[in-house]
Amino acid sequence: MKKITVTLLAAGCMLLSSCDVLTQVADQFSSVANLANCEFNLKNVSNVSVAGVNVKRLTKGNLSAADVVRLVAAYQTKQVPLAMDVNVDVKNPTTTQAAMTALDWILAIDGTDMANGVNTKSYTIKPSATTTVPLGVNTDLAGLFSQKGLEALKTFASSFTSEGISSKVGLRVKPSISVGTVQVPFPNYIKLEKKTGNG
């Protein structure tokens, strides 16, 4: 009788354990599948600098002598580094959480692809909530503006609104999910772009 009781208890524990595992697997697949229902939007662009000069100073004309030296030197050496943080909102409109394990991105300026990368941080987007994914962008504007000179850089800088949106900046993203140990990307890039009246 004692052996039977122990056996039944062991079987019960195994059954409960299996149920827990199945529940976890089901939850994981549900989160993975739900990513397809999420909405991706370009929230804003922040900390924009050209050749180390903050674009706000460039557009407002508050340039120091050192700023002018940096910009002229960058243009003359044909190396005009652009650095900025691009923030993407992932909105989950459903009542089930969603999961994302990576986000590939391609950034375009004036319709020309200028930089690409991937954010490999995992995110859980809660039901009826929005999660912001930051993308650090570093590229060189020299090739794009080489023929138009410093005036083109000023035009680019002035295209940003106070909310950090520019009609000259476009972004495409491709989310990925993990199914077991396999990384599965979306089949196509999603185009994110916000038009403004500036530029």
- The full set of domain ranges for the chain reads 2-192
Of 90 and 20, the one with more pLDDT = 90
Using DSSP, state whether 15 is helix, strand or coil. helix
Please give the model's pTM, rounded to 2 decimal places. Answer: 0.75
d(CA 191, CA 193): 6
Q: What type of residue is 148?
A: K
For residue 196, how many other CB atoms are within 10 A of its CB?
14
Q: What type of residue is 121?
A: K
Using DSSP, state whether 45 is helix, strand or coil. strand
Q: What is the mean pLDDT of residues 49-59?
A: 78
Tell me: pLDDT of 17 over 60: no
Please return the burial class of 74, using the count of CB atoms within 10 Å of its CB with bins 0-12, 13-18 and 19+. Answer: buried
Q: What is the band of 30 on the pLDDT scale with cuts at 50, 70, 90?
A: low
Q: What is the band of 165 on the pLDDT scale with cuts at 50, 70, 90?
A: confident
Q: What is the band of 88 on the pLDDT scale with cuts at 50, 70, 90?
A: very high
Q: What is the mean pLDDT of residues 18-25?
A: 43
pLDDT in tens, 100-146: 999 999 999 888 899 999 999 999 999 999 999 999 999 988 877 76
Question: Do residues 138 and 81 make contact, with C-beta atoms less than 8 angstroms apart?
Answer: yes
pLDDT in tens, 178-187: 877 778 888 8
Q: In the prediction, which pLDDT does 49 show?
A: 86
